[in-house]
Amino acid sequence: MTEPAARPVRTVGILGGGQLGRMLALAGARLGLRSVVLCPDADSPAFEVAADHIVAPYEDEDALADLAARVDVVTYEFENVPASTAAFLAARLPVRPGPRSLEVAQDRLVEKTFLAGLGIPTAPFRAVDTSADLEAGLAEVGFPAVLKTRRFGYDGKGQAKISNPDDVPAAFAAMKGAPAILEGWVPFSREISVLTARGLDGALVTFDVPENEHRQHILKFSRVPAGLAAGTEAKARAIGEAVAAALDHVGVVAVELFLVETAEGERLIANEIAPRVHNSGHWTESACLVSQFEAHMRAVAGLPLADPTRHSDVEMENLIGDEARDPTRFLAESGASLHLYGKTEIRQGRKMGHINRIRPRSLRTV
């Protein structure tokens, strides 16, 4: 789809009012960009820092027309923006990243097929619509495996591990009739991610690669440097840049990767694509000259990208649920930077903020 005629970007519309939208609006303000956030939740954290906001469902065409009239370009903080919403807005003004990025990232089967088409290794996968499909897929993929809904699901939601034949009926029932994908189990030793920003002119910059530690399927820590072999880091960067270019993506895109130790060395297996700024990039706020959020806003506004030089080693820790009840205890911590998201209700498993702990950058020779 060809974008409508470009005009100078002074105001950015953001679909989604969570913490990512909040941090995008803050980064845009530093660049002189106003933000208008549309979200159905009247208590959205991003509303507190945006120049303006609209409370409405994403399918409300009157509200979408209102947003389009107020802004010069639209972006989004989450990948499950309805296709109809993206199409409605894209007919009126630029939507960046474009509909292709949403189409690929919203469906795990489409996503895995896309990655495989680029020659990027993935777990073996099979489409599952019926119990017969599941049985046939397991006969090819083997045990253990993971059954996931093709659409939606994050932080471990919408998926079930299948360790042996006894797990099959419950796993299939857990999909509740939704189209699913069966993936072979990846015996990974670590999880990493790569974040690449692509500009309107096709320019690419990639952040250093973090190692990610999850607890109960929720990201808890991201650490940089990740201690990867130089060749492995280069391969991760090449994957991020190949994905961004193939999608004609404008903005930040994240690719989650499994690292597998083999007799031949480290191997990378692509897990998922997030066509947006990503939790594993929050460390860039404190450890880089340009954060992932500024890089994204520069890209969608058609501004030049900057080299995201990392000046410090860093550990990012998510504050989840009750961990944020007394955030003041972190304020006296040397080398630590606290970022709270302004959420009024603390719930189990809810990301309430994060801490970046920086230290002088280590010198490493390979």
Residue 95 DSSP code: B
Please report the pLDDT score of residue 365 as a whole number. Answer: 42
Measured distance CA(153)–CA(43) in Å, rounded: 22
CA 58 to chain centroid, in Å, comes to: 20
* Residue 243 burial by Cβ neighbours in a 10 Å radius (0-12, 13-18, 19+): buried
DSSP 299-331: HHTTPPP----B-EEEEEEEEEGGGGSSGGGGT
Please report the pLDDT score of residue 17 as a whole number. Answer: 98
Which architecture does CATH list for 190-360?
Answer: 2-Layer Sandwich (3.30)
Report phi then psi at 288, rounded to 5.
-125, 155
CATH class of segment(s) 11-95: alpha beta
Please report the pLDDT score of residue 156 as a whole number. Answer: 61
Measured distance CA(207)–CA(196) in Å, rounded: 6
| Sheet containing 52-55: order of strands | 52-55, 34-39, 11-15, 73-76
Measured distance CA(14)–CA(355) in Å, rounded: 24
Please report the pLDDT score of residue 8 as a whole number. Answer: 82
Please report the pLDDT score of residue 364 as a whole number. Answer: 58
Measured distance CA(207)–CA(282) in Å, rounded: 11
Whether the domain at 11-95 and the domain at 124-184 fall into the same CATH topology: no
Residue 9 DSSP code: -
For CA atoms 181, 187, 192, 197, the dihedral sign is negative
Please report the pLDDT score of residue 152 as a whole number. Answer: 80
pLDDT 10s per residue in the chain (366 long)? 555 555 689 999 999 999 999 999 999 999 999 999 999 999 999 999 999 999 999 999 999 999 999 999 999 999 999 999 999 999 999 999 999 999 999 999 999 999 999 999 999 999 999 999 999 999 999 999 999 999 986 656 789 999 999 999 999 999 999 999 999 999 999 999 999 999 999 999 999 999 999 999 899 999 999 999 989 999 999 999 999 999 999 999 999 999 999 988 899 999 999 999 999 999 999 999 999 999 999 999 999 999 899 999 999 999 999 999 998 889 989 999 999 999 999 999 999 999 999 999 986 544
DSSP 99-153: HHHHHHHT-HHHHHHHHHHTT--B--EEEESSHHHHHHHHHHH-SSEEEEESS--
pTM of the predicted protein model: 0.94
The domain locations on the chain are 11-95, 124-184, 190-360
3-state secondary structure of 177: coil
Please list, in sequence order, all residues whose beta carbon lies within 8 angstroms of the beta carbon of residue 238, skipping any fewer than 6 positions away.
none
Of 3.30.565.10, 3.30.1490.20, 1.10.10.10, 3.40.50.300, which CATH number belongs to 124-184? 3.30.1490.20
